[in-house]
Amino acid sequence: MAKTILIVDDSESIREVVSFTLENEGYKVLIAVDGSDALRFLDGTPIDLIITDLHMPNMDGIELIKAVRGMEIYQRIPILFLTTESQAAKKMEAKDAGATGWIIKPFVPAKLIAALNKVLR
């Protein structure tokens, strides 16, 4: 069974690059445009990993991570967030909220896969 990864980002180009990379690796990709959009997938759909941006309208990444950790069935799934190097403070905030790890923007596909391999097999 292909693992399912939920990508949450308000930027279409980032979504495209991430999903293109992941599909190439053979993952099944779900796409949401922000935190609240992501919630519609979190209804019992089996998801193996969430990759989320931090800055998004409606519901940002931190809120999303908190919400996911509050759900019984998604309590343990790995969550990676996308961040830029300059946002060190946000990194801690996201970790405290329950994020598993992070991917630093800008990234090349290899870097994305490397981060993925830390949390998903």
Torsion of CA 41, 44, 45, 49, to 10 degrees: 80
Supply the minimum distance, in Å, between the C-beta of residue 33 and another protein: 7
Q: State the DSSP string of 40-87.
A: TTTTT---SEEEEESS-SSS-HHHHHHHHHTSGGGTTS-EEEEEETT-
Chain positions contacting another protein, by CB under 8 A? 2-3, 10-14, 16-17, 19-20, 23, 25-33, 37, 55-57, 69, 76-79, 82, 84-86, 95, 98-102, 105-107, 117-121
Q: Which is nearer to another protein, 63 or 95 (CB)?
A: 95
Tell me whether residue 43 or residue 121 sits nearer to another protein (CB atom): 121
3-class secondary structure, 85: coil
* Closer Cβ to another protein, 63 or 107, answer by number: 107
Closest distance to another protein from the beta carbon of 59 (Å): 12
